[in-house]
C-alpha cells in the first residue's frame, strides 16, 4: 500500500516537473524574436573609386536618391557618393569659416538639407553641398535631430538645466524641456562634472513626425517626449540579452550607487578616467520602429524595437560567413532608408573589417512599414 | 668576499645617486627656464602694450579710462571646452566692468545664445569685434584675425594693461 502511494507521489512529481518544463519552453517559443539575415547589396566606396578613402569608420547618411554621405570627423569633410559608390562631391573642409567644419561628429539628412554638428555649432548645407547657414552652440552638445522645422539639440550646462533645446534653423532658441538622469556628483571624485553628465547621457536623440526620443546607450532606456516637450513615456527596452542586462546593471552601479573616482590613464596615456560601457554603437528611426546597433551582447545584429512598447520585435543579422565578431570594431554607424526601387528596407552600416573601413549596404525582406 | 661585494654595491649606488640627482637638477632647471621664458613672454607683451600706450601709439579710449576693465576678445568659446577665462570671478566683482567682443560672424541669435549660456549680465557689453576700438593691440601681441585664440585683457583705471592672456 505504502509502495503504491510512493509510486503515485513520485510519478506526480515527475509529471509536475514535465509540465513546468513544457510551460517554460512554450513560453520561450512564444517570446522568441524572429530573426532575419540581411542580404548584402554592395560595399562602398566602389573599388575603382580612388578619390575616397576612409581613415576611420565614417558617420553615414542617405538621401532619397540613394546617394550616400560619409563624414570623416578628423578630416572635417563629407564624401557624397552615388548609389554605386562613385564620388559625386566632397563637402566641407577643416576651418572656422562659412561651410567649414571643425571636427564634426554628427550628421542628419532631412528636409532636403544636410545638418552637421561640429565643435563650433550646427552647419546646414543643401544636398548639392552648397553651404546655407550656421549657428553656434555654446553648451556641451550630446546629440541632435530634426523635429518638424526645428532642430532638437541635446546639450548640457553645469547647472543641470533641461537638456533639450529647440532651435530654428537660424539658431533662435524656441523652447527648452526635458529632464534626464539626476546624478550625485559627490560619487565622482576628481572627475570633471561636464564629463560625468555627458558620459551618463551617452545615447541618441531621434525624432519622427510626432515625438522626440532619447535612447540611453548606458541604461537601455527610451525617453519619449511629445511636441510640447512633455515626457509621455520612459521605459526600459524589453528583450535585451543577458550580456546587455549585465552591462546595464554595471552602469547603474557606476553612475548611481558606487560612483567612480579618477582612474589612471590607459596604456596610451589617454582616457577620461570615467568608466562606462555602451550597449549600442548607433541607433536610427524608420517607420514604426527604432533600430539599434548593439556594441556588445547581440553583436553582429540589428535590433528592431517597437516605438510604443520599446520591445525587441525583430533581429537582423549582418555578419557574413567567415566574419567574426572580432573582425568588426565597435565604432560602427547605422543608417536606414527604403530602397527607392523596390521599397525594401535598406541598412547602411559603416565600420572596420579585416583591412579597411567600408560602408556595407544591406537589404531586408521587409517592405515599407 | 662579502665586503668586496658590499663595496661594489655601495660605489655603484653612489654613482647612480649622482646620476639621479644631476638628472633631477637639470630637469628642474629646464622647467624653471621654460616657466621664466613664458612669464617673460607674457609680461613682455603687457610691457610692450604699456610702453605703446605711454608713447601714444595706442590710445585707450576715454570709455575704458574710468574704472577697471576686463575685455574679452572671443573667437570661439563654449562652456565645456573653451570657457571664458576667469569670467565667473570677474562677474562677481562689482568694481570690474566687462566688455566682450565676439567674432564678426556671430549672428544676433549666436550673441543671444552666448549671453544665455554664459549668463552674461545686462551690464556687460557684448558686441562684435569690428566694434572693438583697441584693435591695434593685435599688431603688438600677435593676435591675428585667423587665429583661434581668445584673449582676456585687464585694464587698470590708469589705462595700463594689468594682464593680457590668451586662452
Looking at 3.30.470.10, 3.40.50.300, 3.40.50.620, 2.120.10.30, the CATH number of the domain A37-367 comes to: 2.120.10.30
Q: How large is the average pLDDT for residues A307-330?
A: 75
Q: What are the pLDDT digits (tens) for A244-280?
A: 999 999 999 999 998 887 766 665 555 556 888 899 9
Euclidean distance between CA atoms A180 and A225, whole angstroms = 12
Answer whether B107 sits within 8 Å of A135, measured CB to CB. Answer: yes
Q: What is the pTM of this model?
A: 0.81
State whether residue A65 is helix, strand or coil: coil
For residue B166, CA distances in Å to A305, B81, B97 come to 50, 15, 19
Q: Are strands A59-62 and A39-44 parallel, antiparallel or unpaired?
A: unpaired
B interface test, pick of A76, A101, A138, A272 with most B CB neighbours within 10 Å: A138
* Partners of residue A285 on adjacent β-strands: A290
**Residue A164: is its pLDDT beyond 50?**
yes
Of A97, A157, A172, the CB nearest to B79: A157
| Edge-to-edge strand list for the sheet holding A87-91 | A59-62, A68-72, A77-81, A87-91
Q: Is B112 on the interface with A (CB under 8 A)?
A: yes
Which residue has better confidence, A287 or A334? A287
Q: What are the pLDDT digits (tens) for A125-135?
A: 999 999 999 99
Tell the residue number behind the cell numbers 521605459, with chain if given: A235
Euclidean distance between CA atoms A64 and A109, whole angstroms = 9
For chain B, the distance separating the N- and C-terminal CA atoms, rounded to the nearest angstrom, is 64
| Edge-to-edge strand list for the sheet holding A164-167 | A140-147, A150-156, A164-167, A173-177
What ipTM was predicted for this assembly?
Answer: 0.79
**Structural contact between residues A36 and A314, judged by C-beta atoms closer than 8 angstroms:** yes
Least confident segment among A78-82, A223-227, B92-96: B92-96
**Residue B87: is its pLDDT beyond 70?**
yes
Euclidean distance between CA atoms B15 and B21, whole angstroms = 10
Answer whether B78 sits within 8 Å of A98, measured CB to CB. Answer: no
B interface test, pick of A136, A176, A201 with most B CB neighbours within 10 Å: A136
A interface toward B at CB cutoff 8 Å? 96-98, 119-121, 135-140, 156-158, 170-173, 194, 198
**Residue B76: is its pLDDT beyond 90?**
no
pLDDT at A321 (0 to 100): 62
Rounded to a whole number, what is the distance in Å from the CA of A70 to chain B's nearest CA? Answer: 26
Euclidean distance between CA atoms A96 and A106, whole angstroms = 17
Within 10 angstroms of residue B14's Cβ, the number of other Cβ atoms is 10
Q: Is B113 on the interface with A (CB under 8 A)?
A: yes
Within 10 angstroms of residue B134's Cβ, the number of other Cβ atoms is 18
Residue A125 is inside which H or E element, if any?
strand A121-126
Which residue has better confidence, B164 or A279? A279
Q: Which of A156, A95, A84, A82 is nearest to A123 (CA)?
A: A95
Residue A42 is inside which H or E element, if any?
strand A39-44
Please state the domain extents for chain A: 37-367
**Which pLDDT band, with edges at 50, 70 and 90, does A2 fall under?**
low
For chain A, the distance separating the N- and C-terminal CA atoms, rounded to the nearest angstrom, is 66
Euclidean distance between CA atoms A216 and A204, whole angstroms = 7
Q: How large is the average pLDDT for residues A163-189?
A: 91
pLDDT at A232 (0 to 100): 94
Within 10 angstroms of residue A151's Cβ, the number of other Cβ atoms is 23
**Structural contact between residues A353 and A323, judged by C-beta atoms closer than 8 angstroms:** yes
Q: What cell was used for A286?
A: 524608420
Answer whether A171 sits within 8 Å of B110, measured CB to CB. Answer: yes
**Residue A23: is its pLDDT beyond 70?**
no
* Partners of residue A328 on adjacent β-strands: A353
Of B76, B80, B112, the CB nearest to A120: B76
Q: What are the pLDDT digits (tens) for A85-127?
A: 999 999 999 988 889 999 999 999 998 999 999 999 999 999 9
Rounded to a whole number, what is the distance in Å from the CA of B9 to chain A's nearest CA? Answer: 34
* Partners of residue B82 on adjacent β-strands: B78
Q: Which of B99, B102, B98, B120 is nearest to B110 (CA)?
A: B102
Amino acid at each position: 500500500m505504502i509502495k503504491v502511494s510512493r509510486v503515485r507521489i513520485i510519478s506526480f512529481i515527475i509529471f509536475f516537473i514535465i509540465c513546468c518544463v513544457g510551460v517554460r519552453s512554450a513560453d520561450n517559443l512564444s517570446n522568441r524574436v524572429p530573426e532575419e539575415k540581411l542580404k548584402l547589396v554592395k560595399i562602398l566606396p566602389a573599388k575603382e573609386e580612388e578619390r575616397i578613402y576612409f581613415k576611420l569608420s565614417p558617420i553615414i547618411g542617405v538621401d532619397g536618391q540613394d546617394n550616400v554621405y560619409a563624414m570623416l570627423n578628423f578630416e572635417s569633410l563629407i564624401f557624397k557618393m552615388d548609389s554605386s559608390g562613385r564620388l559625386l562631391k566632397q563637402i566641407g573642409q577643416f576651418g572656422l569659416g562659412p561651410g567649414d567644419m571643425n571636427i564634426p561628429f554628427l550628421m542628419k539628412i532631412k528636409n532636403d538639407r544636410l545638418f552637421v554638428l561640429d565643435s563650433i555649432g550646427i552647419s546646414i548645407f543643401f544636398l548639392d553641398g552648397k553651404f546655407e547657414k550656421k549657428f553656434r552652440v555654446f553648451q556641451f552638445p550630446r546629440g541632435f535631430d530634426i523635429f518638424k522645422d526645428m532642430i532638437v539639440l541635446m546639450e548640457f550646462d553645469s547647472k543641470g538645466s533641461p537638456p533639450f533645446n529647440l532651435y530654428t534653423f537660424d539658431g533662435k532658441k524656441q523652447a527648452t524641456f526635458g529632464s534626464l538622469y539626476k546624478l550625485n556628483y559627490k560619487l565622482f571624485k576628481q572627475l570633471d562634472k561636464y564629463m560625468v553628465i555627458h558620459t551618463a547621457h551617452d545615447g541618441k536623440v531621434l525624432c519622427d513626425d510626432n515625438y522626440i526620443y532619447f535612447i540611453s546607450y548606458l541604461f537601455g532606456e527610451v525617453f519619449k517626449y511629445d511636441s510640447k516637450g512633455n515626457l509621455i513615456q520612459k521605459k526600459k527596452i524589453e528583450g535585451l540579452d543577458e550580456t546587455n542586462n549585465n552591462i546595464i546593471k554595471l552602469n547603474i552601479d557606476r553612475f548611481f550607487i558606487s560612483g567612480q573616482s579618477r582612474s589612471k590613464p590607459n596604456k596610451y596615456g589617454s582616457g577620461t578616467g570615467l568608466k562606462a560601457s555602451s550597449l549600442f554603437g548607433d541607433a536610427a528611426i524608420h517607420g514604426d520602429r527604432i533600430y539599434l546597433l548593439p556594441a556588445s551582447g547581440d553583436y553582429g545584429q540589428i535590433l528592431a524595437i517597437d516605438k510604443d512598447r520599446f520591445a525587441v520585435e525583430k533581429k537582423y543579422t549582418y555578419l557574413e560567413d567567415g566574419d567574426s565578431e572580432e573582425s568588426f570594431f565597435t565604432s560602427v554607424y547605422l543608417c536606414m532608408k527604403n530602397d527607392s526601387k523596390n521599397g525594401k528596407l535598406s541598412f547602411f552600416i559603416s565600420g572596420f573589417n579585416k583591412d579597411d573601413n567600408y560602408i556595407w549596404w544591406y537589404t531586408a525582406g521587409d517592405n515599407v512599414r | 668576499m662579502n665586503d668586496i661585494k658590499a663595496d661594489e654595491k655601495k660605489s655603484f649606488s653612489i654613482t647612480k645617486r649622482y646620476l639621479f640627482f644631476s638628472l633631477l637638477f637639470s630637469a628642474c632647471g629646464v622647467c624653471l627656464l621654460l616657466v621664466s621664458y613664458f612669464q617673460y613672454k607674457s609680461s613682455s607683451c603687457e610691457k610692450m602694450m604699456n610702453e605703446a600706450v605711454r608713447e601714444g601709439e595706442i590710445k585707450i579710449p576715454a570709455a575704458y579710462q574710468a574704472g577697471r576693465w576686463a575685455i574679452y576678445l572671443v573667437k570661439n568659446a563654449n562652456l565645456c571646452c573653451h570657457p571664458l577665462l576667469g569670467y565667473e570671478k570677474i562677474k562677481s566683482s562689482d568694481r570690474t566692468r566687462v566688455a566682450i567682443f565676439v567674432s564678426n560672424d556671430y549672428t544676433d541669435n549666436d550673441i543671444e545664445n552666448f549671453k544665455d549660456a554664459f549668463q552674461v549680465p545686462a551690464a556687460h557689453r557684448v558686441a562684435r569685434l569690428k566694434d572693438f576700438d583697441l584693435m591695434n593691440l593685435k599688431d603688438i601681441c600677435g593676435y591675428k584675425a585667423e587665429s583661434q585664440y581668445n584673449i582676456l585683457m585687464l585694464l587698470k583705471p590708469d589705462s595700463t594693461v594689468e594682464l593680457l592672456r590668451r586662452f
